[in-house]
Amino acid sequence: MGVGSASVIHRDGYLLTNNHVLFRMHQGQAILPGQPARMFRIIATLSSEDLALIKVEAGEVLPSLDLGRSDDLMLGEPVIVIGNPGGLVHSVSEGIISGLNRSTSVAGTFLPGMVQTSAAVSGGNSGGPLINALGEQIGVITSKKLDGENINFAITIDRVRELFSTLLSAELRYGFLLGMEVEMLGSPVTVRNVSADSPAERAGVKVGDLIERVDGRELKNGVDFHLELVEKAPGNRLALRIQRGGKAEMIEVELGELELPQPVAEEGMESGLRFRGYEGSWNALPDFEELDPVADGVVEIPTEEAYRTADGENYGLRFQGFIKIPADGLYTFYTSSDDGSRLSIGEKLLVNNDGLHALQRKGGLVRLTAGLHPVTIDYFEQGGEEELEISWEGPGFSSRPVAGEAWFHRP
Please state, in angstroms and as integers, the Cα–Cα distance from residue 104 to each residue in 49, 107, 114, 360, 389, following that order.
Answer: 11, 10, 8, 12, 21
The mean pLDDT of 239-267, rounded to a whole number, is 95
Strands 180-182 and 315-325: unpaired
Task: Determine the length of the chain.
Answer: 411
Spell out the residues 6+ positions from residue 134 whose beta carbon is closer than 8 angstroms to its own.
68
The mean pLDDT of 259-268, rounded to a whole number, is 92
Give pLDDT, residue 148. 78
Model confidence at 251, pLDDT cuts 50, 70, 90, reads: very high
Give pLDDT tens digits for 46-57: 888 999 999 999
Please state, in angstroms and as integers, the Cα–Cα distance from residue 323 to each residue in 21, 262, 340, following that order.
Answer: 31, 13, 21
CA 228, distance to chain mean position in Å, is 18
CA 32, distance to chain mean position in Å, is 26
| Strand order from edge to edge, sheet including 360-368 | 360-368, 329-338, 387-394, 397-401
What is d(CA 298, CA 314) in angstroms, rounded to the nearest whole number?
A: 21
Give pLDDT tens digits for 73-104: 999 999 999 999 988 999 999 999 999 999 89
Model confidence at 106, pLDDT cuts 50, 70, 90, reads: confident
15 strand-pairing partners: 8, 54
Model confidence at 1, pLDDT cuts 50, 70, 90, reads: low
> Per-residue pLDDT for 109 more than 80?
no
> Per-residue pLDDT for 225 more than 80?
yes
What is d(CA 148, CA 260) in angstroms, rounded to the nearest whole number?
A: 50
Query: 319 with 380: CB under 8 angstroms?
Result: no
Strands 237-244 and 66-67: unpaired
SS3 labels along 216-264: CEECCCHHHHHHCCCCCCCCCEEEEEEEECCEEEEEEEECEECCCCCCE
Mean pLDDT of the chain: 94
Among the listed residues 79, 87, 83, 86, the one whose alpha carbon sits nearest the alpha carbon of residue 119: 79
Q: What share of the chain is helix, strand, coil (3-state, %, to 5)?
A: 10, 50, 40
The mean pLDDT of 140-147, rounded to a whole number, is 89
Q: Which amino acid is at 261?
A: P
Among the listed residues 362, 365, 375, the one whose alpha carbon sits nearest the alpha carbon of residue 407: 375
Could you report how far apart the first and last alpha carbons of the chain are, in Å? 50
What is d(CA 117, CA 27) in angstroms, rounded to the nearest whole number?
A: 30
What is d(CA 179, CA 170) in angstroms, rounded to the nearest whole number?
A: 11
> Per-residue pLDDT for 108 more than 80?
no
The mean pLDDT of 146-156, rounded to a whole number, is 89
Give pLDDT tens digits for 7-62: 999 999 999 999 999 976 777 899 998 888 899 999 999 888 999 999 999 888 99
